Amino acid sequence: MMGSNYAYRKTFSLKAAAALFLCVLSVTAFTACSARKAPPARTCISFDTVCTINAYDAGTDALYDACEARLNELEQVFSAHISTSDVCRINDAAGDHPVKVSVEVFTVLKTARGFAEKSGGAFDPTIGPLVSLWGIGTEHEKVPSEDEIAAARALVNWKLLSLDEEAGTAFLEKEGMALDLGGIAKGFAADEIASVLKDAGVSSALVDLGGNVYVIGSRPAESGKSASGDGTGVAERKWRVGVKNPFKPEEGAALRVDVADTSVVTSGNYERYFEKDGVRYHHIINPETGWPAESGLVSCTIIDSSSLKADVLSTAVFVLGKDKGLELLEREGVEGVCISLDGSVSVSSNMQTQIKTLSDSLRL
């Protein structure tokens, strides 16, 4: 299963795989408490990351196959590395002609454009030229020259992504422009997989697409105990999703958010990066400067029933920083938690979710 997906993934980095696998473990560590009938949770590689789907007692091979097939189908249209994808076809036609795209890609592009505007361009789906230039997580990662950055920046502008609703087409108006939906597509995919599971009648499940988490229902009761036999009723049996310690990601979770029926998405500077001369260059780029975002945040976690929204906002808030980022969350009525460089933890005022700090290095 993993092998065949691996073969064509030229840019997939083992370092990233290891880091993301740890991330998956940190989420499941809190949740692996149910009696698991065969088959076990399904783990596969899709969207350049480790994906885990666990429907616990309701899981069947057929259901997991359907989820994996849907993931791979979506990757085929969203990937910036698969030459026949909608994204690559739009990129190839930049400056030349509009391209008819799938309903899924059109939906994501519309949302991406909307949040590009709402975030003042901090989130920009046309970030492709800068992502390629830095090559973070690939074999050609490097610190580019200022000239190279200026040239790539000139090609990043969400306002030049035009969408024609009636024709179902997308068009990048300038030659050399390129979409990169790495900051939003996994959110859409998580919502889709949650739908596949819910449509199959699953009432309790965990979907984790490389840290893009979606939980359905509440946490299953522990093995051998009745529904409320673990001392907590259904309402209290929330999922406990771990947010990795950005300062020591290898040590696991530093925050715990207790949630039900929602998505929890984190963007951090420890997910994909390289270091040169003691400086860390990570994978979330500030479109304004062309450099990895230095907003004072080391991680940002968004909680929302739409994983699509949570994913786009996690990236946007990370770029905007604490103050502007939290303002955006206020305006959107979305919950979020930010961790700053100094270890302070800030939450949005509409935060309803219970959060616990698990590490001395953080201050809530």
For residues 108 and 197, which CB has a smaller minimum distance to ligand ADP in the complex?
108
**Residue number with CB closer to Mg ion (45 or 185):** 185
x/- site string to ligand ADP, residues 166 to 185, per CB under 6 A?
--------------x-xx--
Contact segment (CB under 5 A) with Mg ion among 16-24, 113-121, 313-321, 325-333 equals 313-321
For residue 250, which phi and psi values (nearest 5 degrees)?
Answer: -70, -15
Q: Which of 271, 268, 241, 266 is nearest to 256 (CA)?
A: 241
d(CA 30, CA 51): 17
Residue 287 binds which of Mg ion, ligand ADP, none (CB < 5-8 A, kind-dependent): ligand ADP
Q: Given the DSSP bridges, would you call strands 297-304 and 169-172 parallel, antiparallel or unpaired?
A: unpaired
User: What is the spatial order of strands in the sheet that 42-46 belongs to?
Assistant: 42-46, 49-54, 205-209, 212-216, 262-268, 297-304, 335-340, 345-347
Both structure tokens of 252: 């696991």
Query: What radius of gyration do the chain's Cα atoms show?
Result: 20
Closest distance of CB 229 from ligand ADP, Å: 36
Our finding on whether 124 is near ligand ADP (CB under 6 A) is: yes
Please tell me the distance from the alpha carbon of residue 297 to that of residue 341, in angstroms, as a whole number: 6
The pattern of x and - marking residues 202 through 241 that bind ligand ADP according to CB under 6 A reads --------xxx-----------------------------
* Whole-angstrom distance, CA of residue 69 vs CA of residue 91: 25
In the numeric block, the tokens 């530093």 are attached to 254
Short-list 100, 312, 88, CA closest to 191: 312
The answer to whether 263 contacts Mg ion (rule: CB under 5 A) is no
Among 31, 269, 301, 314, binds ligand ADP (CB under 6 A): 314
Q: How far is the CB of 136 from ligand ADP (least distance, A)?
A: 7
CB of 266 to Mg ion, least distance (A): 9
The β-bridge relationship of strands 212-216 and 161-164 is unpaired
Helix, strand or coil for residue 180?
coil
Which residue's CB is nearer to ligand ADP, number 58 or number 181? 181
Q: Which of residues 106, 123, 214, 270 is near ligand ADP by CB under 6 A?
A: 123
Indicate the residue whose CB is closest to ligand ADP: 182
Matching residue, tokens 């709402």 = 118
* 311 lies in the site for Mg ion, by CB under 5 A: yes
Q: Site map for Mg ion, 168-197, x if CB under 5 A?
A: ---------------x--------------
Which range binds ligand ADP by CB under 6 A, 71-79, 83-91, 194-202, 313-321?
313-321
DSSP 8-state secondary structure symbol assigned to residue 88: H
- Which two structure tokens, joined as six digits, stand for 48? 């350049």
170 vs 178: CA distance, rounded Å: 12
Q: How far is the CB of 213 from ligand ADP (least distance, A)?
A: 11
Residues binding Mg ion (CB under 5 A): 183, 311, 314-315
Residues binding ligand ADP (CB under 6 A): 123-125, 127, 131, 180, 182-183, 210-212, 267, 271-272, 283-285, 287, 311, 314-315, 319
